[in-house]
Amino acid sequence: ATGAHRLGREWALDKTQEPDGATYDGVGPVKDLDDGAAWLDRFTDAAGGRLVVAGGSYIGIEMAEAALRRGFKVTLVTRSRVMSSFDPDMSDRIVEGLRRGGVEVVENAAVTGLGTSEGRVRSVGTDSGSFACDLLVLALGIRPATGFLDGNVLERGPSGGLRPDPRGVVAPGVWAAGDCCEVRHRMLDDWAYLPLGTHANKLGRAVGENLGGGHLEFDGALGTAITRFVEDGVHLEIACTGLNTALAEETGLEVVSLVTEGTTASGYMPEAEPIAIKVLAEKGTRRLLGVQVVGGRGAGKRIDAVAACLWGEMTVDDLAWMDLSYAPPFATAWEVVSLAARRLAERL
């Protein structure tokens, strides 16, 4: 929980409040720079202790890495799967990398309660048992801070996010941008809540331009995202764009997919790192639907070429035959993204 005012915000950095009013030290969210600074202080005060991260998405993985680097023993608990926006076969690869890096990963385990002593968290209870800890990170995602609009006529989606037009207009005289907004998902042609800094910046730029008398439109998003986990000899890059299998099938699409394993550079080069790419396409139209990437150094940013293809509504064949760069330190002669698309095209 976070307070709406500054005093409430400071309280929330160090305490978690139970329904009966009790608060516990060592528990807090990580959503902004103030949170980050507070967690650095906590890491110093409890150096070498035990930390539990509740939440298995981008922030949860990044906080696990930060704690490991400071000597903590880390347990990551998530109520579903780690990186549940990925298909299970790709999520499993992420879990394997986290475990190799020293993270204890517990999936399908919702947090059920806290064990405390002298006003401080000592353990976290879950569906899969209890885990001792000195600190508990809440990396549970966010909701739009639009509760103050309850009872207002401004349109909001199921997430609670506002729905501005491409210029940022919610209603005459009302403008909005950032994590309080839903955006148009270009693959679904429907609203989606995608709280990412990229969209916040772009729609914010449009709002500023338009308030100043110009005309600029934000034309939607694909959900392109990237992170990494680096610890104890493990370098894991994680990226995705477009639809995953479950979301595509929910919209009635007939999906064909394939995972291709390769290397980020020619195999005889010291730079070569393993990479796995899952490509999804629509049967019949051969339209590219999405791609997920898990691999070593240099793997993640390959997602941008795929995002460009999705933006241009290209097919899996277009991606397979694109003129992508090659030199042995950077890629294989048939760039691995194109190779993955080609193999799926052959299956289609």
pLDDT at 319: 97
Instruction: Give pTM, 2 decimals.
Output: 0.90
Q: Using pLDDT thresholds of 50, 70 and 90, give the confidence band for residue 4.
A: very low
Query: pLDDT (tens digit, 9 = 90+) per residue, 32-45?
Result: 899 999 999 999 98
Q: CB atoms < 10 A from the CB of 114, how many? A: 21
**CB of 98 closer than 8 Å to CB of 82:** yes
- Tokens encoding 315: 């097919």
Q: Using pLDDT thresholds of 50, 70 and 90, give the confidence band for residue 23.
A: low
Q: Using pLDDT thresholds of 50, 70 and 90, give the confidence band for residue 118.
A: confident
Query: pLDDT (tens digit, 9 = 90+) per residue, 59-83?
Result: 999 999 999 999 999 999 999 999 9
Cα(320)–Cα(338) distance, integer angstroms? 4
- Give the pairing type, strands 234-242 and 288-295: antiparallel
Amino acid at 113: G
Instruction: Compute the radius of gyration of the chain from its Cα atoms.
Output: 22
pLDDT, average across residues 217-222: 96
**CB of 299 closer than 8 Å to CB of 306:** no
Cα(33)–Cα(326) distance, integer angstroms? 39
pLDDT at 17: 54
Amino acid at 46: A
Q: Using pLDDT thresholds of 50, 70 and 90, give the confidence band for residue 16.
A: low
Q: CB atoms < 10 A from the CB of 108, how many? A: 12
